[in-house]
Amino acid sequence: MKESWRWYGPLDKILLGEIAQTGATGIVTALHEVPYGEVWQRETIASRKADIEAAGFDWVVVESLPIHERIKRNEGDLSGLFANYRQSMANLAAEGIYTICYNFMPLLDWTRTDLAAPVARGGSCLRFSAPKMAALELFMLGRDAARNDYLPEVITEAERWFQASSDDERAVLMNSVMAGLPGAYERYDADGLKTALKLYEGIDRTALRGHMQRFLEEVVPAAEELGMRFCVHPDDPPRDILGLPRIVSDADDIGWLLEAVDSPANGLTLCAGSLGANPKNDVPAIARRFASRIHFAHLRNVKKDADGSFEEAAHLTGDTDMVDLVAALLQEEQRRRDAGDSAWEIPFRPDHGHELLDDASRNTHPGYPLVGRMRGLAELRGVIAGLSYAGTAAS
């Protein structure tokens, strides 16, 4: 497996020279400064790639080439946006970059309510609190329909938190929910979020699936011609929020989208944390079921609560059996090698991570600390080495 690291380019507080000291050899990044819908120019791609290679890395995955919200809403004449997207793909392929991770989450990317929840032995983690999210939906946004989305006891706790909270605490909650948006774009306040949500009125799960299928039909044939691999990132959290449908949350969803445009170029980013936050998901089983279509992996872990809350756990100590999951990925790599597949290696990155030691002083992108991810990478490297040795010894 290819050890990789997410880097936010010039926006990142962590330098490539520091990443080199983690032992990772691949970089996962994007042109976060380019507005959604515009073409990624080949010259800009080449320049970013040259910086990465000069530091001793390969640019192994684009994460992500974002999808304009109008495409997700299937709004108006989309021919120009699709043409721009395909041109960006062609420009990436011309520079030797062939794997694109993307998501189809409406409006928001990953969503958390707390960016620095304390962990038992020091440090902090990302957390999704169902009561806080319910408080935002019901009492800050006035979305009364959200009462159908939460347990009664969660709503009771949400109202208690809201009544006790200050304006500053509510602002921190809104900022935390907005923090998952990538790049350097303006975040929403409560009024702005209400306005943005209105644009999705009437778009239910069935409609959004249709919009996603249209997107795939527009780009997967181009990916096939270019020799590229698309890999969808599951929803995070894997549940509807803010009244917005989420359609990549479990094995059934994944099966649907891979069959909607049935091509090896239409694949999966196996995100252990996103899938692991859904209590019904058996993540190693999902990995084995869809192994041949996994083009990229995010390895992290979560610990779930009964009320729908969850938080980022250490990479080896959450609810998902990480050793079994890594074993599934190594088995798939071996199958590809045996079949003579030149693209047998699965790039992975240690996703998220606890803020440890001096991480908090760096003010990095939430969830992407240096020390915490380096700890995760070291633990995963040990698992991979142990499983690989055991396999060699057994043979």
Dihedral sign computed on CA atoms, order 253, 254, 257, 260: negative
Q: Say whether 149 is catalytic.
A: no
Residues across the chain: 395
Q: Say whether 368 is catalytic.
A: yes
Place of tokens 């803010």: 242
User: Contacts by 179-182 with C-beta closer than 8 Å and gap 24+?
Assistant: 179/112, 179/115, 179/366, 180/108, 180/109, 180/110, 180/111, 180/112, 180/236, 180/366, 181/108, 181/109, 182/8, 182/30, 182/32, 182/64, 182/66, 182/109
Q: Which of 295, 352, 354, 365 is catalytic?
A: 352
Q: Which of 298, 315, 354, 365 is catalytic?
A: 298
For residue 377, give Cα distances in angstroms to 5, 277, 321, 322, 331. 9, 21, 16, 13, 20
Place of tokens 């004449």: 77
Q: Say whether 68 is catalytic.
A: no
Q: Which of 233, 295, 315, 354 is catalytic?
A: 233
Q: Which of 200, 271, 315, 359 is catalytic?
A: 271
AA identity, residue 234: P
Whether the CB-CB separation of 36 and 66 falls below 8 Å is answered with: yes
Q: Which of 8, 351, 354, 365 is catalytic?
A: 351
Q: Say whether 338 is catalytic.
A: no
Place of tokens 């693209």: 343
- DSSP-derived pairing of the beta strands 301-304 and 347-350: unpaired
Q: Say whether 36 is catalytic.
A: no
Helices 322-338 and 370-394: crossing angle, nearest 10°?
60
Task: Say which residues have a Cβ less than 8 Å from residue 178's Cβ, sequence separation at least 6.
Answer: 108, 187, 188
Nearest to 274, CA basis, from 256, 255, 251:
251
Q: Say whether 298 is catalytic.
A: yes
Place of tokens 């096939």: 224
For residue 262, give Cα distances in angstroms to 110, 276, 341. 27, 25, 19
**H helix runs in 98-144, sequence order:** 130-135
Tokens linked to 233: 């990132």
Q: Which residues are catalytic?
A: 233, 271, 298, 351-352, 368
